[in-house]
Amino acid sequence: METHELALYFDENLFISDMKARNKEESLQELSELIASQRYIRNPGLILDMLHQRETLGSTGIGKGVAIPHGRTVAASDVVIAFGKSEKGIDYNSIDNKPAQLFFMVIAPFHDEKNIYLPILGSLVTFLNQKKNRERISQVTSFDEFISIIRGE
């Protein structure tokens, strides 16, 4: 999947430029509740349970100030990505032991007919491995700025 194709999976209503969360649990709750508030999934508890189980396998804090909590759930009908940014950073038990500032929550259905869940995760990691992309994303204050960067503009 090309990075610019990721733009199709973001929604302005799933964008937070200044997260309120102060710790890992609150960050998961904030983004889960955002997804539920937009009716992508009715019960944020279902997302949280799945994410907690996923975190037992290893932290989704990939380092370099980035966390990509993700997983599959029967509660999702399509792949959705919520984005949040924390100016202060949040201790997320990341692999490099540094705080996470950029959060990309990827939720997918168990039966992903288009088989795009893993390619989306791969494209996100590839995109976020580039320092210039992380720096640009960390400066955004609006969804329009954010999505322009994702599109490669």
Strand-pairing partners, residue 10, are: 81
Q: Pick the closest to residue 32 from 90, 71, 86 (CA basis).
A: 71
Above 80 in pLDDT, residue 130? yes
70 is catalytic: yes
Structure tokens, 84: 């949040």
- Give the number of C-alpha atoms closer than 13 A to the C-alpha of residue 76, restricted to the C-beta side: 26
Select which of 4, 52, 70, 111 is catalytic: 70
Above 80 in pLDDT, residue 93? yes
CATH architecture of the region 3-150: 3-Layer(aba) Sandwich (3.40)
Classify residue 65 as left (phi > 0), alpha (psi -120 to 50) or beta: left
Q: What is the pLDDT of residues 40-77, one digit of tens each?
A: 787 788 889 999 999 999 999 999 999 999 999 888 88
Domain ranges of the chain: 3-150
Query: What's the mean pLDDT in 12-37?
Result: 95
Structure tokens, 1: 């999947």
Task: For residue 112, name the pLDDT band (cuts at 50, 70, 90).
Answer: confident
Classify residue 79 as left (phi > 0), alpha (psi -120 to 50) or beta: beta
pTM more than 0.85 = yes
Name the maximum alpha-carbon separation found in the chain: 38
CA distance 71 to 94: 17
- Is there a contact between 44 and 29 (Cβ–Cβ < 8 Å)? yes
CA distance 52 to 13: 24
Predicted pLDDT of residue 1: 76
